[in-house]
Amino acid sequence: MSVLVTMTSGAYGCTTPVEIRKAADNSLVGSVSMCSSAAFLEPATLPATDSYVVVVNPTGATTGTATVALYDVTDVTTSIAINGSTVSVALTTPGQNARLPFTGTAGQQVSSAVTMTSGNFGCIWLLQIRKTSDNSLVGSASSCGSSVALGPLTLPSSTSYTLVIDAGGSSTGTANVTLTAP
């Protein structure tokens, strides 16, 4: 679950916590500090089927009104092939990432490019290649704009990899993704 809190009037102060807590015992599942007119709590995995609460606890004597939006986040997973077709990825839920699995060969060089076609992925959004087996990072690039390129990178082993697009904060949009072997 991810949470977006947006101030509509007043101010809450720079250390205001936004939290997801288990209702039965008040145990903390995830938190972020609100230090501007909005706060975004990246997806937190709920440990069990149970009742939970979102807590916004203004610091000191600060007051205001805010909207709170709660999102059920499921990452987009679609395969991509080296030198295959361009893949379109739509991240429509705040906090959602894209995971594009592919198979590579030891010593093979790959490059990837992502270009926004609608919306935006915020500032800063990431493009990464990770080994699927242990999630280890092979390479990463970031962008504050409408496109990003990564590579060429040399794959360390013959195995499965995952191309990850991690949108910044609560940003959403659609992008075209390519994966090539130069």
Q: What phi, psi does 179 have (nearest 5°)? A: -135, 120
63 and 105 both lie in a single domain = no
Do 87 and 31 belong to one domain? Answer: no
pLDDT value at 134 more than 80: yes
**Are 81 and 41 within one domain?**
no
Residue 4: pLDDT band with limits 50, 70, 90: very high
Same structural domain, 117 and 163: yes
Buried b (16+ CB within 10 A) or exposed e, 85-112: eebebbbebbbbbbbbebebeeebebbb
Per-residue pLDDT at 58:
83
pLDDT bucket at 172, cuts 50 / 70 / 90: very high
Residues 6 and 95 in one domain: no
Give the CATH number of the domain where residue 103 resides. Answer: 2.60.120.380
Percent of the chain with pLDDT over 90: 71
42-49: long-range contacts, CB 8 A cutoff, minimum separation 24: 42/2, 42/95, 43/1, 43/2, 43/73, 43/95, 43/96, 44/1, 44/2, 44/20, 46/1, 46/20, 47/22
Q: What is the pLDDT of residue 128?
A: 97
Whether residues 52 and 98 share a domain: the answer is: no
| Number of domains observed in the structure of the chain | 2
- Predicted pLDDT of residue 75: 95
Query: Domain residues for 105?
Result: 76-180
Residue type, 112: S
Q: Based on the domain organization, do 134 and 161 belong to the same domain?
A: yes
